[in-house]
């Protein structure tokens, strides 16, 4: 009876680590992997298209928001229809699209950056797993952070848009009263004159009420996310299941209607501060209105 013996295999030789050898690059962080640039592109496209269609309404909203009835050089509008007819009669179709260039750039960049920041922060909170449902508090936090970051980038564009929307060409008195430093030929000219006469600080007028206005987007996104997840759970679907275009539109409209009335006073204050020109000045955190004599 023969017995066979198997020799143990030699252990692999361990080489001492070279202290001068370059260390392996660390894996990318989860935050970096959370960035999806398609959200930036989608937000920019949506913002540009909606602005080109709805800019006349935005112009009317700004003019009504800052109209106190005391400025003798500004035209008076008795209502929405009267405003449209008056602007079209005195300034033509071009008057309804005054400030459309910075508004298009601003809306496109604002929505693009907002969706990019929001989806990045949200995905990071979910640990890169879209099946993890976040609470309304986390949605509010993600939307607020995204809104503040977006406001820091786009506030100068909003100031220029408001200034251009508040330029009137109805009478010779308005043209005579207009200071050359506040009469802008276009978007680039407005940027140059604001920085020249008011400094960088002039581009961030209305920033404080804009910070409060961040709550508007935060509440809207919380309502939107809750509507979407509740609908999917009710239909026994994953919370990240895709919806039809009509369903996305419905949930967006409902969430917008839900929070819109909370933002209107802040929106008017921000527009008034951004369009700050003589003889009316807005100053301080409470935006108290003072008449310059």
Averaged over 238-254, what is the pLDDT?
87
At residue 24, does pLDDT exceed 50?
A: no
At residue 55, does pLDDT exceed 60?
A: yes
- Residue 186's Cβ-side half-sphere holds a number of Cα atoms within 13 Å equal to 2
Domains with residue ranges and CATH for the chain: 33-291 (1.50.40.10)
- Determine the pLDDT at residue 148: 93
Q: Which percentage of the chain shows pLDDT scores above 70?
A: 69
pLDDT band at 263 (very low <50, low <70, confident <90, very high): low
Which residues have C-beta within 8 Å of that of residue 103, sequence separation ≥ 6? 51, 55, 58, 161, 165
- Determine the pLDDT at residue 27: 47
């Amino acid at each position: 009876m023969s017995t066979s013996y198997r020799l143990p295999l030699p252990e692999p030789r361990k080489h001492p680590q070279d202290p001068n050898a370059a260390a392996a690059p660390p894996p990318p962080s989860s935050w970096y992997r959370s960035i999806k640039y398609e959200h930036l592109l989608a937000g920019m496209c949506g913002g540009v298209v909606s602005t080109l269609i709805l800019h006349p309404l935005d112009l009317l909203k700004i003019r009504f928001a800052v109209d106190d009835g005391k400025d003798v050089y500004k035209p008076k509008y008795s209502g929405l229809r009267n405003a449209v007819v008056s602007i079209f009669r005195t300034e033509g179709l071009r008057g309804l699209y005054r400030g459309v260039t910075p508004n298009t750039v601003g809306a496109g960049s604002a929505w693009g950056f907002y969706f990019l920041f929001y989806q990045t922060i949200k995905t990071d909170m979910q640990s890169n797993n879209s099946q993890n449902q976040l609470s309304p508090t986390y949605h509010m936090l993600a939307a607020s952070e995204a809104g503040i970051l977006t406001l820091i980038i786009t506030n100068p564009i909003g100031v220029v848009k408001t200034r251009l929307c508040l330029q009137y060409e109805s009478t010779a008195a308005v043209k005579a009263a207009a200071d050359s430093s506040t009469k802008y030929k276009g978007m680039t000219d407005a940027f140059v004159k604001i920085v020249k006469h008011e400094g960088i600080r002039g581009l961030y007028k209305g920033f404080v009420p804009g910070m409060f206005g961040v709550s508007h987007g935060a509440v809207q996104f919380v309502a939107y996310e809750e509507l979407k997840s509740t609908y999917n759970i009710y239909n026994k679907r994953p919370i990240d299941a895709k919806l039809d275009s009509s369903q996305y539109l419905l949930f967006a409209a409902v969430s917008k209607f839900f929070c819109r009335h909370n933002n209107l006073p802040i929106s008017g204050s921000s527009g008034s501060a951004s369009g700050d020109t003589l003889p009316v000045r807005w100053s301080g955190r409470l935006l108290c209105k003072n008449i310059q004599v």
